[in-house]
Structure 1
Amino acid sequence: MLMYTGKHPRNVYGRIHIAEDCWQKFCKESAFALYTPFIVSLASGNLKVESFRKFVAQDVCLLKIFANAFELAETNAQDDYAKHQINELRKTAINLHDSFVQEWGSYFVKDTTLNPATSKCQDFLLATASGKIDGVTAPIERTKLPAYTLGAIASFMKLYAYIGKELKGLTDHNCYKKWIENYSSDRFQDLSFQTEYLLNRLSDSFTAEELDIIETLYSQGFKHEIDFFLAQPLIQKAVVPLSGEHNLEERQLMIFSEFNFSFASVDSYVFFAEMAIAKESDKVRKEYTYTYPYEPTLKTICWREAHKNYINAYVKCIEDILATEKAENLNHKGLRKALEKVSYIEKEANLSVIKFGGLKGLKLKDIILAGERSILHDVCFEFFQTVKKKESLNADVHVLSYCWCGDLIRSTLSAGGLNGIKVHANELEFEESVCTGQILRKVESPIDKVEAFAKILESCGKGNDKKELLTVYIGDSFKDLLCLLEADIGIMVYPSPNLIDLAEHFGIRLIPLFHGVVDKQKKSVEGAETWKGGLSGILYTAISWVEIHAFLIGS
């Protein structure tokens, strides 16, 4: 049987680290556990003691289930080293279990009935350790079972370790402190690490199919633990997911996003430049038959020059902006003036492209086809697909973009099943479906964008039977800052160091989204408005679209 050489490549020492590969693939999913109402309430320090007691009882049972699964894995292990190491892992799980029992009392744990989510965790782990794995019909070698069992347990351990570290220092509430300390402790972090280390060692000679089974078990373990946290009962209001606060009868949720680098992985400017240059090059090839290397066409030279001029002007503008005095508090007026300068550069760049006919001759059908075949950010698309499918959310979704052609955006969104999203962008002028070279300039600058944002809100705002608006703006650029600040919730996704410097230069406070959610939970009062209010000078940062998904919609 051939050894695996595929999606889990060997390192320089010839080893496959399946545990690290699985965490790398599924780590973003951890946001779905972190943003559960239970964990957010726990992190804020205002989780009711009654809810925490019920949770600890289930948690202690889960630790016992881990120990039982380790015991089965030890029984199936073939060599003394693996048996010894698994036994050590089992002892650590038991010690952690015993410390919780001592803290809360054995009578409390003894009378606990497993809730459905904990029961599913038990069924999954013990079935895996016994060789009963969903989707695997062929007989499973007993020698493989320890690795499969550790693959399932490793996901639980890693997620617990991650949550413990994320919650450490967020609350000093005595009731929860011991739990957080246990899972953020070096002892538990080492338990997670040793589980992964042994998993890697036991699976090093596995085939492609066997490694895929471990990856599937790891993924299933992740989902079971997320469901475990979701199942914990609360007797107080939670601020997550945002959709849980959404009252269709009173409020309208509006979500805004940029297109470039959010939906598409390539800037639309680069996309159109390459399309125009390719079209011109094809024309040259048809007209001339010589075989030596082609000289750049005049249009190619013009595109290069336009791009160089734009980059130079933009970089100089940013340098001048950062050279001004840094604000301690929000300097909205200064930010708007700075973005007016950026707006001038954007408009001059567009005018340059129009003058040299950079887009002239492009066919509408080619643009639409290219949009349908665009390389997309799947996670972003999945988020918006979920938003559109979730009827209870009834969100009004808008894309605000500097893209030269709204048809490109609409075709890209349509290919992903997102026909209902409203697009606000520039448009190309066509005659008989061929571009004249003119750009119908509607949203070509940061100032245009914030004015378009205001007009959309005005048209959907209160009046007669119109609902109160709750606006979420998701952006990733300096040019988005005005819109981000105007929204009730402004979220910067994948913020670059340069963007962070610019935001802080104008006195904008940047708060990791999870920390912001925890702070809102601390201040939450039944019936009180949690998120309403733009121009607070606060923006939230998210490291992925999965995190935004977890915050807005939940698992």
Structure 2
Amino acid sequence: MRSLLLLSPLRLPIPNPVFNFFHSKSIFRFYCRPSHYLRSAITPPTMASPIDESVGVARRCWINSKKESTFALYTPFVVCLASGTLNIDTFRHYIAQDVHFLKAFVQGCEAAEVCTDDDDAKVGISELRKNIVNELKMHDAVLEKWGIDLVKECTINPATAKYTDFLLATASGKVEGVKAAKLATPFEKTKLAAYTLGAMTPCMRLYAYIGKELQVCLEGEKNHPYEKWIDSYAAEGFQASALQTEDLLDKLSVTLTGEELDIIEKLYHQAMKLEIQFFLAQPLVQKAIIPLSKDHNPAEQRITIFSDFDLTCTIVDSSAILAEIAIITAPKSDQNQPENQISRMSLADLKNAWGDLSKQYTEEYEQCIEKMLLTEKAEKCDYGRLCRTIEQLSDFEKRANSRVVESGVLKGLNLEDIKRAGQQLILQDGCTDFFQSIIRNENLNADIHVLSYCWCGDLIRSSFSSGGIDGLDIHANELMFQESLSTGEIVKKVESPIDKVQAFSKILANCRNDKKNLTVYIGDSVGDLLCLLEADVGIVLGSSSSLRRMGNHFGVSFVPLFPGVLQKQKMYAGSDSSSWTGLSGVLYTASSWDEIHAFVLGS
């Protein structure tokens, strides 16, 4: 059998939506199309759409800073402020430190205005400076009302100083990267205006983003102690000011080279990181409920992370990968197969077989879901009845797997081909960083378990290993091999929702009882529903309609993660993290792995 390395690049399609009913954890979320099917991509595009080349540098930098903006939102300071529990002394300290920020912004604007030779840009920078001066006056009035002498009582803290020093060094051309640029002539010094705006813009956009996010979360809430602060940054005036700053950055960057634009992107990213450090440096009086790993004592506590694999960690379902390998390596009908090797179907027969299996699966899966939803709707979470009902789906999944084995479509797959395909498999943005951060954290007593319907655990192991993620416990089915060739048989270990929750319970039962255990389960489909509910924190990635329908039918509530964190912070007594408990009937929805990372580990 030819190795994948000897083939034209093996490529996998994102599953055809016609066969992706309800985003179920199905085994057939693809369709075996004709010859053009084989020319689709094994390394498909990431979930995020590519950034349009016409997008300005300011917008591009913001899009590329999605991780940092999420981390800023989930800092304990912002969470406590948004929940209304932030101690007033902490807020006063923050306002006083913000004055130092604003003064540095004024100096940065003055330097940028001097450097630029564009009259329109000069006017724009001047207006920005005036807006900042007005904000400074409001801050001074607030501090005076509180009786705070900024000079005597609020010396600049190290995190604030790092940002202000960075901004002023950028404006003077002394920051790393900028000082290496050619700035000898007056024309070349005009670049400093763009660099300075590159270091200021992210803070403006970040505050505009946080203001809008918090305003949405607090909609309808009365008497919030920091409502005016939130409204000021969510207001159209500030939003327009942030947009104006981005437009200025774009205008000043028009003539820059690719290398000079790279400098701006680095400055932007550095400013975002320094802003996060600024939030983290605010002295909290009360305890914050996040990150989950905060104040973790490995001698007394354990965090057990559970995750699904297909379409939770990956972009493409593993069944589609195995089907693609089978099809692309299948013998032609007139091709003689080597003796003493496992007999395989011809390419034409194999395509037909996959198509028939896919059609039968998707039709019966939809019927199974609809049948389960015919039961009486629960007013509150009815876990027991859900377990009994979901056994129908478990029986269906097992029958479908048996049909796959009986069909022989997996016969003759080469183990090395599977491993190479796993190495090329793209995981969702942020997934690798999350697992790596847990594994590398020596101060964290954490175990990671992956529970998957995947037919071949070797595919999962190779995909994680190629991303530098080792030490995960993989619980999945396994293909049987004879001299590195698949016999088509599956060692059936995790085939269904019931199998998953049994594996989940067994893992926890085997944990030593000498430590308090906090469990987190991350999944995306109906097959994960029982485990999501059993975990102390169940986090749903993606937007599976079948999962939502099934959950809602049995009384499960779906709450966006950040508003859920704010609600928990309001109720938090400050003793421990026991407010997160399993079988509460509440699942939390996350938009990305970065959000999960911020919630569990922090920045």
| TM-score after normalising by structure 2 | 0.85
1:455 corresponds to which letter in structure 2? K
Q: 1:372 aligns with which of 420, 423, 446?
A: 423
Q: Counterpart of 1:399 in 2: which secondary structure?
A: strand
- What pairs up with 1:6-405 in 2 under 5 angstroms? 9-11=52-54, 16-105=55-144, 107-111=148-152, 112-136=154-178, 137-140=180-183, 141-168=188-215, 170=218, 175-281=225-331, 296-322=347-373, 324-405=375-456
Change in 2 beyond 3 A, CA 1:529/1:145: closer
Moved more, 193-202 or 475-484: 193-202
Instruction: Note if 1:431 corresponds to 2:482.
Output: yes
Distance 2:310 2:333 in 1: 29
The equivalent residue for 1:291 is none
Q: 1:484 aligns with which of 512, 532, 540?
A: 532
2:70 corresponds to which letter in structure 1? A
Moved more, 196-205 or 449-458: 196-205
The equivalent residue for 1:520 is 568
Q: Deviations over 1:216-238 (max 9, x none)?
A: 11111111101110111112211
Distance 1:51 1:499 in 2: 41
Conserved in 1, the CA contact under 8 Å of 2:84 and 2:570? yes
The equivalent residue for 2:547 is 499
Q: Deviations over 1:16-37 (max 9, x none)?
A: 4111111111123211111111
Moved more, 496-505 or 420-429: 496-505
1:346 corresponds to which letter in structure 2? E
The equivalent residue for 2:41 is none
Distance 1:507 1:265 in 2: 29
Number of residues of Structure 1 aligned to a counterpart in Structure 2: 537
Q: CA deviation at 1:338?
A: 3.9
Q: CA deviation at 1:118?
A: 0.7
Conserved in 1, the CA contact under 8 Å of 2:76 and 2:290? yes
Conserved in 1, the CA contact under 8 Å of 2:572 and 2:579? no
Change in 2 beyond 3 A, CA 1:470/1:107: closer
Q: CA deviation at 1:528?
A: 4.3
Change in 2 beyond 3 A, CA 1:389/1:528: closer
1:139 corresponds to which letter in structure 2? K
Change in 2 beyond 3 A, CA 1:172/1:53: farther
Q: Deviations over 1:2-52 (max 9, x none)?
A: xxxxx97543xxxx4111111111123211111111111111212111111
Instruction: Note if 1:535 corresponds to 2:579.
Output: no
Distance 1:358 1:414 in 2: 27
Conserved in 2, the CA contact under 8 Å of 1:55 and 1:232? yes
Distance 2:448 2:95 in 1: 40
| TM-score after normalising by structure 1 | 0.92
Q: Counterpart of 1:297 in 2: which secondary structure?
A: helix
Q: Counterpart of 2:381 in 1: which secondary structure?
A: coil
Distance 2:371 2:113 in 1: 65
The equivalent residue for 2:35 is none
Change in 2 beyond 3 A, CA 1:173/1:36: farther
2:530 corresponds to which letter in structure 1? L
Change in 2 beyond 3 A, CA 1:64/1:172: farther
Distance 1:273 1:451 in 2: 28
Distance 2:182 2:580 in 1: 57
Distance 1:500 1:130 in 2: 54
The equivalent residue for 2:7 is none
Identity percentage of aligned residues: 51
The equivalent residue for 1:292 is none
Conserved in 2, the CA contact under 8 Å of 1:461 and 1:468? no
Structure 2: any 5+ residue segments left out of the alignment? 1-49, 338-345
Instruction: Note if 1:547 corresponds to 2:590.
Output: no
RMSD: 2.2
Conserved in 2, the CA contact under 8 Å of 1:71 and 1:90? yes
Q: CA deviation at 1:99?
A: 1.0
Distance 2:231 2:111 in 1: 28
Q: Counterpart of 2:367 in 1: which secondary structure?
A: helix
Distance 1:273 1:549 in 2: 32
Q: Deviations over 1:417-450 (max 9, x none)?
A: 2221001001111222221111011101111111
Q: CA deviation at 1:322?
A: 4.3
Distance 1:285 1:81 in 2: 72
Q: CA deviation at 1:256?
A: 0.3
Q: Deviations over 1:218-261 (max 9, x none)?
A: 11111110111011111221111111142222221100001112
Conserved in 2, the CA contact under 8 Å of 1:388 and 1:394? no
Conserved in 2, the CA contact under 8 Å of 1:28 and 1:544? no
Q: CA deviation at 1:207?
A: 2.1
Moved more, 80-89 or 108-117: 108-117
The equivalent residue for 2:521 is 473
Distance 1:319 1:392 in 2: 47
Distance 2:266 2:485 in 1: 49
Change in 2 beyond 3 A, CA 1:184/1:378: closer
Q: Counterpart of 1:404 in 2: which secondary structure?
A: coil
Q: Counterpart of 1:193 in 2: which secondary structure?
A: helix
1:377 corresponds to which letter in structure 2? Q
Distance 1:297 1:452 in 2: 39
Change in 2 beyond 3 A, CA 1:31/1:199: same
Conserved in 1, the CA contact under 8 Å of 2:287 and 2:574? yes
Conserved in 1, the CA contact under 8 Å of 2:372 and 2:390? no
Distance 2:257 2:371 in 1: 57
Change in 2 beyond 3 A, CA 1:498/1:277: same
Conserved in 1, the CA contact under 8 Å of 2:525 and 2:547? yes
Q: CA deviation at 1:360?
A: 1.2
1:166 corresponds to which letter in structure 2? E
The equivalent residue for 1:452 is 503
Conserved in 2, the CA contact under 8 Å of 1:486 and 1:534? yes
Change in 2 beyond 3 A, CA 1:95/1:300: same
Q: Counterpart of 1:280 in 2: which secondary structure?
A: coil
Change in 2 beyond 3 A, CA 1:209/1:396: same
Distance 2:200 2:374 in 1: 53
Conserved in 2, the CA contact under 8 Å of 1:57 and 1:108? no
Q: Counterpart of 1:244 in 2: which secondary structure?
A: coil
